[in-house]
Chain A
Amino acid sequence: MLQADKITVRYGTRTALDSLSFSLEEHQWLMLVGPNGAGKSTLIRALAQNIPYTGTFTLFGQQLNAMKPAERAKLIGFLSQSHSVQYAYTVEEIVRLGRYAHTRGFLSHHDEDGEAAVSHALELTGMTEYRNTDILSLSGGELQRAFLAQVFAQQPQLLVLDEPANHLDLPYQQRIFELIDDWRKQPGHAVLSVVHDLGLAKRFGTHAVLLNEGRCVSRGECNDVLSIENLSNVYRMDVHGWMREQLKLWE
């Protein structure tokens, strides 16, 4: 589905991502894991064509940077980790923007599936009751769900999520992650996400890429990549000990 081949990103003289390669297949949930500054968000921004990079991303056999933005948006849905909104759009208006790529061209505004897609996306994310609410009045978690609904309304085949658990309370964290997990099991779907919470990464990821200082330390199946040894080396701490200590507080 998605192949990344020798992706390199430089900010001035600093190499933020160094020749990273990986692939993602249907039904997989690939977790990008690593400490701060490892290059996770840089990779997401490169994939979104938001920053210059070298190397190639190939999606369904086509080079990503050769695709038109609307064509790309029908295949990949991105969820950023933060949303700074300036104007008082309603939740529905935000979600409806997800249909933009489907309403372009000669038959613009004749989006037959649009209404159903918007309603379904609002329902999935528990935002139906906020449909006409001004987004400036939403909490961080509600805003995150509104933008997740926009991504679902886009009806992509690949979801790319940068810290999807940001601002979400525990019930919604569970609900949204289970929802995404169900979504990726549907035909032609896959998920790529940046997650800081190693527990969530291990619980929901099928595959993982462990990054450190812009380089790939390990990639493969989630349980192999997120081993205690790998994590302790990359994070330079006793990850297992810290996790157990946290767990003890609840026992």
Chain B
Amino acid sequence: MRKKGFTLTSHLVCLLILLAVLLMCVCLGSVSIPLRDTLAVFRSALTGEATEASTYRSILLSIRLPRVLCVALCGASLSLSGAAMQGLLRNPLADGSTLGVSSGASLGAALALAFGVTVPGLPYAGTTGMAMLFAFGSLMLILSLAYTLDRSLSTHSIILIGVIFSMLATSLISLVVSFSGDKIKSVMFWTMGSLAGSNYTHVLLMAVALLVCGTVLLRLQEELNAFAVGEENALQVGVAVKKVKLTVLIAVSVLIGVCVSVGGTIAFIGLVTPHAARMLVGPNHRRLLPASMYFGAIFLLLADLIARTLLRPIELSVGVVTSLVGAAAFVLIFYHTRKGAK
């Protein structure tokens, strides 16, 4: 396992676990649907046959399935982004939020929600478009500032400017919330992170983003390994450092922008799941990137299930659950890492 890449057996095991969790999340909720009826609905949807369990059909196909698929895709995307950022910046605390992309995307989406930015005929395009636009804008701003400060685009400069930018964006979001009037509840709920209300358009958007950007990142496994050892070492073994860095940053910002536009700010996924994956499969990105995707999807599915069912009929936002679980897990990981280092 440590010598090779992510083997076919590993893929199969992870896929089986992911499918089992997906099925569980589809069955459970404010109304629990028996597994047999769930499978009957899916079978009928695929074959076009009529089914006795038609009462469950709309719950499963219109509400739960798109939500669960969005949760899995969002978890995989955020976790993959986190793993790639941690390798690129050689910093286990790095992810989209450290870079400032999440905060930038959040600011764009909050502005769209608060001031009702819409695109005629495309109901979600306003928030999504603004989040992606602001994610790109933030990235370009952060990179330009980092470049002005340090022509080699060193990771330290990027992280430092990313943290400063995150603080600024968070303050601006608070300002937007103050001026959002009657929309304050939707903006606040969204800033806490929630994938309730996801639909198949969101699924398609996230799937395309993950397919394109995920392929790009998975093809850069060796380059990320070189970066994770050291940027200078990457240059010395022949990595086109600036080109790879820019490619990874753009792919990550697209993934985060799309996730934020659909589900708001879901903290800790990009930090904690790559850590957990690294503990199991080691730091080699040939195994770490696929493992992080599976772990992220499974972790967010379970967190979303808890958010939906813990206090039913009240639904918590998934961001609250991931923050609670993630912060505790992060403290444990950090403690063990530090203890191990002594």
Question: Residue B232 contacts which of A48, A72, A92, A94 (CB distance < 8 angstroms)?
Answer: A48
Interface: A73 (CB within 8 A): yes
Interface: B283 (CB within 8 A): yes
Q: 8 Å CB contacts to B: which residues of A176-225?
A: none
Contact in complex: A88, B283 (CB < 8 Å): yes
Interface: A93 (CB within 8 A): yes
Of A1-9, A74-82, A122-130, A232-240, the one touching chain B:
A74-82
Please classify how large the interface on chain A is, using the bins under 10, 10 to 19, 20 to 34, 35 or more.
35 or more
Residue of B at shortest CB range from A49?
B235
Question: Residue B237 contacts which of A50, A92, A100 (CB distance < 8 angstroms)?
Answer: A100
Least Cβ distance of B148 to chain A in Å? Answer: 14
- Residues in A whose Cβ lies below 8 Å from that of B152: 50-51
- Residues in A whose Cβ lies below 8 Å from that of B3: 92
Contact in complex: A69, B229 (CB < 8 Å): no
Contact in complex: B92, A86 (CB < 8 Å): yes
Interface: B240 (CB within 8 A): yes
Interface: B91 (CB within 8 A): yes
Per-position binary interface string of chain B over residues 197-239, scored 1 when its CB falls under 8 Å from any chain A CB and 0 otherwise? 0000000000000000000000000100110111011011111
Contact in complex: A100, B283 (CB < 8 Å): no
Residue of A at shortest CB range from B244?
A69
Question: Residue A86 contacts which of B90, B151, B235, B240 (CB distance < 8 angstroms)?
Answer: B90
Contact in complex: B230, A83 (CB < 8 Å): yes
Residue of B at shortest CB range from A93?
B284
Q: How far is B238's CA from A98's CA once the two chains are assembled, in angstroms? A: 9
Interface: B2 (CB within 8 A): yes
Least Cβ distance of A50 to chain B in Å? Answer: 6
Contact in complex: B282, A69 (CB < 8 Å): no
- Residues in B whose Cβ lies below 8 Å from that of A80: 232-233, 236
Interface: A19 (CB within 8 A): no
Question: Residue B229 contacts which of A50, A89, A132 (CB distance < 8 angstroms)?
Answer: A89
Q: 8 Å CB contacts to B: which residues of A102-157?
A: 103-104, 132, 136, 147, 150, 154
- Residues in A whose Cβ lies below 8 Å from that of B91: 86
Contact in complex: B235, A70 (CB < 8 Å): no
- Residues in B whose Cβ lies below 8 Å from that of A83: 230, 233
Interface: A244 (CB within 8 A): no
- Residues in B whose Cβ lies below 8 Å from that of A50: 152, 232, 235
Residue of B at shortest CB range from A73?
B238
Interface: B278 (CB within 8 A): yes
Contact in complex: A97, B90 (CB < 8 Å): no
Interface: A90 (CB within 8 A): yes
- Residues in A whose Cβ lies below 8 Å from that of B23: none
Interface: A20 (CB within 8 A): no
Least Cβ distance of A140 to chain B in Å? Answer: 15
Question: Residue A97 contacts which of B225, B240, B282 (CB distance < 8 angstroms)?
Answer: B225
Interface: A46 (CB within 8 A): no
- Residues in B whose Cβ lies below 8 Å from that of A87: 90, 92, 228-229, 278, 283
Q: 8 Å CB contacts to A: which residues of B280-310?
A: 282-284
Interface: B320 (CB within 8 A): no
Contact in complex: B235, A69 (CB < 8 Å): yes
Q: How far is B235's CA from A50's CA once the two chains are assembled, in angstroms? A: 8
Contact in complex: A73, B2 (CB < 8 Å): no
Least Cβ distance of B285 to chain A in Å? Answer: 10
Residue of B at shortest CB range from A86?
B90
- Residues in A whose Cβ lies below 8 Å from that of B230: 83-85
- Residues in A whose Cβ lies below 8 Å from that of B238: 69-74, 100-101, 104
Interface: B63 (CB within 8 A): no
Interface: B14 (CB within 8 A): no
- Residues in A whose Cβ lies below 8 Å from that of B2: 90, 132
Q: How far is B239's CA from A88's CA once the two chains are assembled, in angstroms? A: 21
Given the interface pairs A88-B282, A89-B229, the reply to whether A48 lies near B240 with Cβ below 8 Å is: no
Interface: A55 (CB within 8 A): no
- Residues in A whose Cβ lies below 8 Å from that of B284: 89, 93
Contact in complex: A86, B228 (CB < 8 Å): yes
5 contacts between A and B (CB under 8 A): A50-B232, A78-B236, A89-B283, A90-B2, A98-B237
**Chain B contact residues, CB within 8 Å of chain A:** 2-3, 90-92, 151-152, 222, 225-226, 228-230, 232-233, 235-241, 278, 282-284, 341
Q: Known pairs A48-B232, A86-B228. 13 more at Cβ < 8 A?
A: A50-B152, A50-B235, A69-B240, A72-B238, A86-B91, A87-B278, A88-B282, A88-B283, A90-B2, A90-B282, A93-B284, A94-B229, A132-B2
Pairs of residues from A and B, 7 with the lowest C-beta to C-beta distance, nearest first: A73-B238, A101-B238, A87-B283, A70-B238, A78-B236, A100-B237, A69-B238
